[in-house]
Amino acid sequence: MSKKPAVVLLSGGLTSGSSTNIALSVVAKALEDSGCTTRLISVGDHPLPLLGVGEEYPAAVEQLRDWVTAADGLVVGSPEYHAAPSGALKNMIDYLRSEDVSGKPTGLVAICGSPKGGTNTLNSLRITFRSLHAPVLVEQAICTSADFEGGRVAAPEALDYLHRVADGLVREIRHASAALDNTA
């Protein structure tokens, strides 16, 4: 791969200090250490109107689509609300078209309040991205509120899972790039 792989991280966190944004920052740092460029897009920093409200899409939708289309891979993180991803994140994803994400390796991260949560959020995101024809990584991460301390991910196991998501994404981006090189 001649250029640095570009990764977009989509966050359902509403504030810069949200656990979801903190966890995705860990993934972004690991990706950057592996030679990728990253862009973290948080629903709190890039609010969009509810899909279907109004006739025209705001300029922010085209910007989001441009960033995602230019990416080689994605990481999607969401807090878990009532065993599901955040509605704000789902709304952001709903603005994406299949052609924006098709074929892009996608890693998933869920943030939940209890050690027994997160799985339904990951499964919901997996179904959504599979419907958009994005291959979802085997590696995934669930972090609980107990994994965070002082505005950082403090639990070694949670850090390990977040790094595995980054490693798996780099592997799949390289694999996809090599496959393209072989067909050229």
Domains and CATH numbers, the chain: 6-183 (3.40.50.360)
Could you report the per-residue pLDDT of 54-79, keeping only the tens digit for each? 668 889 999 999 999 999 999 999 99
- The residue-averaged pLDDT of 168-182 equals 88
How many CB atoms are located within 10 Å of the residue 128 CB?
A: 21
What does residue 47 show for φ and ψ, rounded to 5 degrees? Answer: -65, 140
| Residue 95 · residue 135 · CB < 8 Å | no
- For the CA atoms of 42, 36, 168, 176, the dihedral, rounded to the nearest 10 degrees, stands at 110
Q: Using CA atoms, how far apart are residues 111 and 119, in angstroms rounded to an integer?
A: 10
Q: What is this structure's pTM?
A: 0.95
CB proximity list for 103: less than 8 A, separation 6 or greater: 133, 134, 135, 176
- The residue-averaged pLDDT of 22-41 equals 98
Asked whether the predicted pLDDT for residue 184 surpasses 70, the reply is: no
Asked whether the predicted pLDDT for residue 127 surpasses 80, the reply is: yes
Asked whether the predicted pLDDT for residue 85 surpasses 70, the reply is: yes
- For the CA atoms of 156, 173, 76, 28, the dihedral, rounded to the nearest 10 degrees, stands at 50
Q: Which amino acid is at 172?
A: E
Nearest of 33, 72, 36, 74 to residue 180 by alpha carbon? 72
Per-residue model confidence (pLDDT) at position 3: 87
